[in-house]
């Protein structure tokens, strides 16, 4: 690889040197002045048209009158005329001195073909709400997660990245908000070339485009799988013609996008800790003596290694590289085409002991078998391996694999006082437990990452989908497609104990052992999972035009799917060595095993009819009739219809005189979708055999006699049926000024009813409640997108922006439910925050004595503690008491008011620049614990607890006096103080590129050569808690500590041979 790059670089420099010499010293042997005028089909002059000599960087542009003048030094030159909204023209000079050109409007935008369910449609004829994202837009960013690359690209698609963990970014995908509150979930259906697949395992370089089906008219043809919308991914296909080989290499360097500024100066930390203890009266054993503080004050000068001021996160987090390689081979002839894509992703994680490496392949092949028969196949393959740390906290046996260890590593680093470094000052490399006994702290995360074993996940993925297409008649085509999706994961967690020592030696100079993390014996947990999914569908497509104005197309199809999941868990302990990652190396007596398996199937009939009259009046209707094994026979089948219509008002005769109007279309749709993603056997009785600790069958005592038996732990409901989502949508599409200005507006109402949920019953009935259909959830919103593009001479630019706003509302739920900081109550958004309202900070004792009685705490508040509002009492009016029953209030913010994104791109000659920003507004996120709460486990608090907290009457009315967060209830109540404003604007990507002139690159046998540099997550603007990433879902917000997202700086080169 390095030799190849050096070779390319040497040739590049050689070509550059030759070009400079020729430009400076070569005398022109022939020159000619060419002038002319550029007009539109309507005869209007076109200013700003680009005129370039083909194969060179020489050119000019038309003036305000459409005139141009250009010196030509080659009588065989060809001039290229290009302008936004018009077709490009190429005209040979042929010794002409005057050239007039008429440019024709480029209706490509209007004739753009969009992928829809089981087919394609012209964009102008669409009556449904469908957004598209091109592969070029996706690959303009360099983030390693394919899903996160879609963020902010189109309205209605909400993506939140919860973690920066390589290979497991925990992206949440929503289309038009949360669709349900049941276990069926709100994840959309993802189809790759028509078959369900894993978008996160697909290399972004193989993607041609993505269609997002947002309303029922577009998604109803997928029926029970489409209640939360559909994402259709189309991969690149082969093209007849010259063999094209494309290679793309990208090197990236990662740093945390946001980092908490904490009090890590040891003296300041000790003094602030004592101040917090004095105020709260908690953890008095953590108090530092004056002598200890003075030792660190002097030691920072005389012996900083033994008396450090250490930020442990700087030892855990590192600058991490990413290497990405991608090679594509595309070509074909005589009716056979192919495209092969080979990718490698090698990502080192920001946190120690985390990394991810993936190899992926995409092979698309199509051939004409003669006459009317075409055969093809799409193959996706990927194999990945990722590593993480392993811990035992709260987990035993096979559950060791499930522990969120990266989050635990972050909070352990936050919990470490700055008074010691992770390793001893003697240079031995031994790990530190603490500097002072009984002064807080947690595990040593560096020891866990370096010496504590780890977790390994190996994933294998295959999606194979062959198809055959037969053109029965000119108007009738049949297609049959089958697929096999296989996915396997082999996961292991090896837990190895680590020893920690006191940071200071005793009187004899000995560092005493003080802690053991991850237990004593070496343990290994292993889990193997396998998924197999088989799909088969066949379609008949009919398309015909009658009397030149009646255009009819119809689709009829059948599909069946089957899915099976298998899991095997095993655990053994007392392994002889941490180098042996095999269960067989441990004694069988310590073994624990378990397994699980389930399967489901779906049968479906579907169809669609499209009609348009003269391209002006559009009508579409579709249906899907599904049967799912997850429902009882009486309710197994469900019908999901949709209807939509459109009026292209721009095609009316009375609009033809408006020259600047290219497209104006009104559309509306209505339809229903289903959801069957619930438990696999919810309507069946499930019986359990009671087992003892040694797998013996337990007996039941009946009348003094022991009898073997089984128990029933849940009540079934044999009458459950589909969840049904009804979507109404009205939209407007427009394009003006030769499609230089274009966009769309949509309003929708999405209502899910008969939500599958557990019946609300008292706990004392002793069994799990049955699943019932009860509940209605509604989302109503607006979506806007607008774009503008233009070219003025050598300078071209485009702006694309989108914005969405939606309101979530719980229409029917039953009795309200309160869980932690959330409430589920009819009339409110689902999971609305339900907390005390902060009413400032107590400034003096008189204010406490004269205010409401704080019945929420047994610890009397002090001046400097949080003050809460008295909202209500038993009679519905303020009662002079603050309690958790009557004074908590609903606070919106779980769902943002707006999501938005904007992309700006520009080009000048061979340079190109793009800037992409994305953000949310009006969202709040509740966070507590390490990284935000003061002195949680003695953790160094954020600096705002030192600089901005209350420190005497009148000093602050928003941040309380610093305290020890260990049961200090006056300030630790669930309140709006911990509810941060997580709105943000993030510069997601900036990219600058240069494409070498073809005359240069072709001299080194390269058809095209482009180099670029880019930055991802370059800057974040937010009012969230300082140092915390605001991009996180509400369900992932309990702890402040999460795996940090990265700012990524990249350099890349792309060469086409």
874-911 pLDDT, tens digit each: 998 999 999 999 999 999 999 999 999 999 999 998 89
For residue range 912-931, list pLDDT tens digits in order.
999 999 999 999 999 988 88
- Residues above pLDDT 90, as percent of the chain: 56
Q: Could you tell me which residues come within 8 angstroms of residue 630 by beta carbon, excluding any fewer than 6 positions away?
A: 600, 676, 678, 679, 680, 681, 682
Is pLDDT at 276 greater than 50 in this prediction? yes
Structure confidence at residue 383 as a pLDDT band (50, 70, 90): very high
Q: Which of 53-67, 123-137, 979-993 has the highest mean pLDDT?
A: 979-993
User: Reduced to 3 states, what is the DSSP secondary structure of residue 258?
Assistant: coil
What DSSP element (H or E) covers 725?
Answer: strand 723-736
For residue range 332-368, list pLDDT tens digits in order.
888 899 999 999 999 999 999 999 999 999 999 999 9
Which range has the worst mean pLDDT, 95-99, 457-461, 642-646?
95-99
Cα 32 from Cα 535, distance rounded (Å): 65
Tokens of 479: 């297609």
- Do residues 1042 and 410 lie in contact, with contact meaning Cβ atoms separated by under 8 Å? yes
Please tell me the predicted confidence (pLDDT) of residue 392. Answer: 79
Q: Could you tell me which residues come within 8 angstroms of residue 265 by beta carbon, excluding any fewer than 6 positions away?
A: 309, 418
Q: Counting Cβ atoms within 10 Å, is residue 662 exposed (0-12), middle (13-18) or buried (19+)? A: buried
Q: What is the mean pLDDT of residues 674-696?
A: 69
Cα 920 from Cα 843, distance rounded (Å): 35
For residue range 113-154, list pLDDT tens digits in order.
888 888 888 888 889 999 999 888 888 888 888 888 888 888
Is pLDDT at 696 greater than 70 in this prediction? no
Instruction: Tell me the Cα Rg of the chain.
Output: 33
Cα 1043 from Cα 162, distance rounded (Å): 8
Number of helices followed by number of strands (H, E) in the chain: 12, 57
Helix axes 266-280, 290-302, angle to 10 degrees: 160
For residue range 251-261, list pLDDT tens digits in order.
999 999 988 89
Q: Could you tell me which residues come within 8 angstroms of residue 699 by beta carbon, excluding any fewer than 6 positions away?
A: 706, 707, 708, 709
- Do residues 891 and 972 lie in contact, with contact meaning Cβ atoms separated by under 8 Å? no
User: Reduced to 3 states, what is the DSSP secondary structure of residue 654?
Assistant: helix
Please tell me the predicted confidence (pLDDT) of residue 135. Answer: 87
Neighbours of 434 (CB within 10 A): 23
Residue 1047 forms part of a structural domain: yes
Please tell me the predicted confidence (pLDDT) of residue 139. Answer: 87
Say which residue, 616 or 760, is predicted with more confidence: 616
- List the domain range (segments joined by +) for residue 1022: 823-1056
For residue range 395-450, list pLDDT tens digits in order.
677 778 887 788 889 989 998 999 999 999 999 999 999 998 877 768 899 999 99
Which residue, among 980, 903, 900, 985, has the nearest Cα to 158 in the 3D structure? Answer: 900
First-last CA distance in the chain: 16
- Do residues 349 and 386 lie in contact, with contact meaning Cβ atoms separated by under 8 Å? no
Phi–psi pair at 846, nearest 5 degrees: -60, -35
Please tell me the predicted confidence (pLDDT) of residue 256. Answer: 92
Cα 444 from Cα 513, distance rounded (Å): 14
Please tell me the predicted confidence (pLDDT) of residue 179. Answer: 83
- Do residues 518 and 392 lie in contact, with contact meaning Cβ atoms separated by under 8 Å? yes
Number of domains observed in the structure of the chain: 1
Cα 200 from Cα 169, distance rounded (Å): 9
Tokens of 725: 């989502």
Is pLDDT at 315 greater than 80 in this prediction? yes
Residue 1025 forms part of a structural domain: yes
Is pLDDT at 19 greater than 50 in this prediction? no
Is pLDDT at 29 greater than 70 in this prediction? no
Three-state SS for 214-234 is CCHHHHHHHHHHCCCCEEEEE
Structure confidence at residue 757 as a pLDDT band (50, 70, 90): confident
pTM of the model: 0.85
Please tell me the predicted confidence (pLDDT) of residue 690. Answer: 63
Residue 977 forms part of a structural domain: yes
- Do residues 809 and 775 lie in contact, with contact meaning Cβ atoms separated by under 8 Å? no
Is pLDDT at 867 greater than 60 in this prediction? yes
Residue 922 forms part of a structural domain: yes
Q: What is the dihedral of CA 133, 1037, 491, 500, to 10 degrees?
A: 140
Number of alpha carbons in the 13 Å side-chain half-sphere of residue 154 = 25
Is pLDDT at 184 greater than 80 in this prediction? no
Please tell me the predicted confidence (pLDDT) of residue 11. Answer: 39
Q: What is the mean pLDDT of residues 537-552?
A: 94
Beta pairing, strands 373-388 & 453-471: antiparallel
Residue 603 forms part of a structural domain: no
Please tell me the predicted confidence (pLDDT) of residue 1038. Answer: 65
Residue 837 forms part of a structural domain: yes
Residue 995 forms part of a structural domain: yes
Q: What is the mean pLDDT of residues 762-768?
A: 70
Tokens of 28: 């022109």
Please tell me the predicted confidence (pLDDT) of residue 267. Answer: 97
Please tell me the predicted confidence (pLDDT) of residue 695. Answer: 53
Say which residue, 998 or 5, is predicted with more confidence: 998
Is pLDDT at 764 greater than 80 in this prediction? no
Residue length of the chain: 1057
Which residue, among 332, 345, 388, 373, has the nearest Cα to 149 in the 3D structure? Answer: 345
Q: What is the mean pLDDT of residues 83-95?
A: 80
- Do residues 935 and 906 lie in contact, with contact meaning Cβ atoms separated by under 8 Å? no
Which range has the worst mean pLDDT, 208-217, 504-513, 994-1003?
994-1003
Distance of CA 804 to the CA centre of its chain: 17
Is pLDDT at 701 greater than 90 in this prediction? no
Is pLDDT at 700 greater than 70 in this prediction? no
Please tell me the predicted confidence (pLDDT) of residue 314. Answer: 94
Please tell me the predicted confidence (pLDDT) of residue 9. Answer: 38
Tokens of 291: 């002598």
Q: Could you tell me which residues come within 8 angstroms of residue 202 by beta carbon, excluding any fewer than 6 positions away?
A: 146, 192, 233, 235, 360, 362, 380, 382
929 Rama class: left (phi>0) / alpha (psi -120 to 50) / beta: left
Structure confidence at residue 7 as a pLDDT band (50, 70, 90): very low
Which range has the worst mean pLDDT, 435-439, 469-473, 703-707, 713-717?
703-707
Residue 1034 forms part of a structural domain: yes
Cα 992 from Cα 353, distance rounded (Å): 33
Is pLDDT at 219 greater than 50 in this prediction? yes
- Residues above pLDDT 70, as percent of the chain: 92
Q: Could you tell me which residues come within 8 angstroms of residue 389 by beta carbon, excluding any fewer than 6 positions away?
A: 351, 352, 353, 354, 405, 406, 409, 445, 448, 449, 452, 454, 455
Please tell me the predicted confidence (pLDDT) of residue 354. Answer: 94
Q: What is the mean pLDDT of residues 174-180?
A: 87
Please tell me the predicted confidence (pLDDT) of residue 26. Answer: 34
Please tell me the predicted confidence (pLDDT) of residue 18. Answer: 33
The mean pLDDT of the chain is 88
């Amino acid at each position: 690889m390095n030799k190849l790059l050096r070779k390319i670089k040497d040739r590049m420099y050689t070509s550059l040197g030759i070009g400079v010499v020729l430009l400076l010293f070569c005398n022109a042997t022939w020159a000619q002045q060419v002038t002319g005028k550029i007009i539109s089909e309507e005869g209007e002059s076109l200013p700003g048209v680009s005129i370039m000599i083909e194969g060179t960087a020489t050119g000019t542009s038309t003036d305000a009158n459409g005139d141009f003048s250009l010196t030509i030094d080659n009588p065989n030159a060809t001039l290229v005329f290009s302008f936004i909204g018009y077709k490009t023209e190429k005209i040979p000079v042929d010794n002409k001195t005057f050239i007039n050109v008429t440019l024709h409007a480029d209706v490509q935008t209007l004739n753009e073909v969009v992928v829809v369910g089981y087919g394609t449609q012209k964009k102008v004829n669409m009556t449904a709400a469908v957004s598209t994202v091109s592969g070029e837009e996706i690959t303009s960013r360099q983030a390693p997660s394919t899903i996160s690359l879609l963020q902010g690209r189109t309205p209605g698609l909400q993506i939140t990245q919860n973690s920066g963990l390589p290979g497991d970014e925990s992206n949440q995908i929503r289309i038009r908000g949360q669709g349900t509150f049941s276990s069926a979930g709100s994840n959309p259906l993802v189809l790759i070339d028509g078959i369900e697949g894993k978008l996160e395992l697909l290399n972004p370089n193989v993607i041609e485009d993505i269609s997002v089906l947002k309303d029922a008219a577009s998604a109803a043809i997928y029926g029970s799988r489409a209640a939360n919308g559909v994402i259709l991914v189309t991969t690149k296909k082969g093209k007849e013609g010259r063999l094209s080989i494309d290679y793309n290499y990208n090197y990236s360097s990662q740093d945390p996008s946001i980092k908490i500024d904490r009090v890590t100066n040891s003296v300041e930390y000790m003094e602030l800790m004592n101040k917090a203890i004095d105020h709260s009266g908690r953890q008095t054993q953590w108090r530092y003596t004056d002598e200890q503080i003075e030792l660190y004050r002097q030691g920072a000068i005389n012996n900083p290694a033994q008396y450090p001021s250490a930020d442990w996160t700087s030892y855990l987090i590192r600058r991490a590289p990413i290497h990405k390689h991608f090679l594509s081979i595309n070509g074909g002839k005589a009716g056979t085409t192919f495209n092969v894509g080979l990718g490698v992703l090698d990502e080192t994680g920001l946190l120690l002991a985390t990394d991810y490496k993936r190899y992926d392949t995409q092979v698309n092949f199509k051939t004409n078998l003669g006459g009317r028969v075409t055969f093809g196949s799409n193959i996706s393959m990927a194999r990945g391996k990722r590593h993480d740390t392993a811990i035992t906290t709260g987990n035993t046996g096979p559950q060791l694999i499930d522990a969120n260890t990266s989050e635990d590593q972050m909070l352990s680093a936050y919990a470490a006082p700055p008074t010691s470094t992770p390793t001893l000052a003697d240079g031995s490399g031994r790990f530190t437990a603490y500097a002072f006994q009984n002064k807080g702290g947690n595990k040593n995360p560096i020891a866990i990452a370096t010496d504590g074993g780890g977790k390994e996940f190996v994933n294998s993925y295959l999606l194979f989908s062959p198809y055959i297409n037969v053109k029965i008649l000119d108007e009738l085509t049949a297609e049959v497609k089958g697929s096999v999706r296989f996915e396997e994961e082999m996961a292991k967690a090896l837990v190895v104990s680590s020893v920690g020592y006191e940071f200071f030696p005793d009187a004899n100079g000995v560092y005493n052992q003080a802690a053991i993390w991850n237990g004593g014996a070496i343990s290994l947990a292993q889990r193997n999972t396998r998924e197999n999914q088989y799909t088969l569908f066949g379609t008949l497509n009919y398309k015909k035009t009658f009397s030149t104005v009646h255009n009819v197309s119809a689709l009829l199809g059948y599909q069946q799917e089957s899915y099976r999941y298998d899991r095997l868990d095993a655990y053994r302990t007392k392994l002889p060595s941490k180098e042996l990652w095999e269960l067989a190396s441990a004694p069988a007596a310590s073994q624990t095993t378990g397994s699980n398996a389930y399967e489901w199937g779906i049968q479906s009939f579907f169809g669609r009819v499209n009609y348009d009259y003269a391209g002006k009046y559009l009508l579409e209707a579709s249906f899907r009739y599904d049967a799912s094994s997850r429902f009882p026979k009486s309710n197994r089948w469900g019908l999901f219809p949709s209807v939509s219509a459109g009026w292209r008002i721009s095609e009316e005769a009375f609009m033809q005189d408006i020259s600047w109007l290219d497209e104006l279309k009104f559309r509306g749709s209505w339809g229903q979708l289903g959801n069957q993603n619930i438990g696999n056997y919810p309507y069946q009785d499930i019986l359990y055999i009671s087992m003892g600790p040694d797998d013996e069958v337990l007996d039941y005592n009946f009348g003094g006699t022991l009898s073997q038996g089984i128990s029933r732990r849940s009540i079934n409901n044999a009458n459950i049926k589909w969840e049904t989502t009804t979507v109404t949508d009205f939209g407007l599409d427009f394009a003006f000024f030769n499609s230089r200005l274009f966009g769309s507006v949509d309003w929708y109402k999405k209502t899910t009813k008969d939500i599958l949920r557990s019946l609300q019953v008292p706990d004392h009935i002793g069994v799990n409640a049955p699943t019932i259909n009860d509940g209605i959830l509604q989302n109503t919103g607006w979506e806007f997108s607008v774009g503008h593009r233009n070219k003025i001479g050598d300078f071209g630019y485009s702006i694309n922006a989108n914005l969405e706003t939606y309101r979530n509302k719980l229409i029917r739920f039953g009795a309200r439910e309160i869980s932690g900081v959330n409430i589920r109550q009819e009339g409110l958004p689902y999971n609305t925050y339900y907390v005390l309202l902060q009413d400032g900070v107590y400034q003096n004792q008189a204010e406490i004595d004269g205010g409401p009685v704080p019945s929420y705490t047994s610890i009397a508040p002090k001046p400097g503690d949080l003050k809460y509002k008295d909202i209500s009492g038993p009679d519905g009016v303020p009662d002079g008491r603050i309690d958790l029953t009557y004074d908590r209030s609903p606070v919106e913010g779980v769902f943002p008011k707006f999501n938005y994104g904007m992309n700006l791109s520009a080009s000048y000659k061979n340079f190109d620049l793009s800037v992409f920003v994305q953000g949310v507004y009006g969202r709040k996120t509740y966070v507590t614990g390490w990284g935000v709460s003061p002195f949680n486990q003695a953790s160094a608090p954020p600096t705002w607890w030192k600089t901005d907290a209350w420190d005497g009457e009148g000093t602050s009315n928003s941040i309380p006096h610093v305290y020890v967060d260990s049961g200090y209830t006056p300030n630790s109540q669930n309140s709006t103080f911990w509810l941060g404003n997580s709105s943000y604007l993030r510069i997601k990507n900036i990219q600058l590129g240069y494409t070498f002139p073809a005359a240069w690159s072709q001299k080194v046998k390269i058809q095209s050569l482009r180099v670029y540099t880019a930055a991802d997550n370059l800057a974040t603007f937010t009012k969230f808690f300082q140092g915390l990433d605001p991009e996180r879902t509400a369900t992932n917000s309990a702890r402040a500590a999460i795996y940090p997202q990265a700012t990524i700086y990249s350099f890349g080169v792309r060469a086409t041979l």
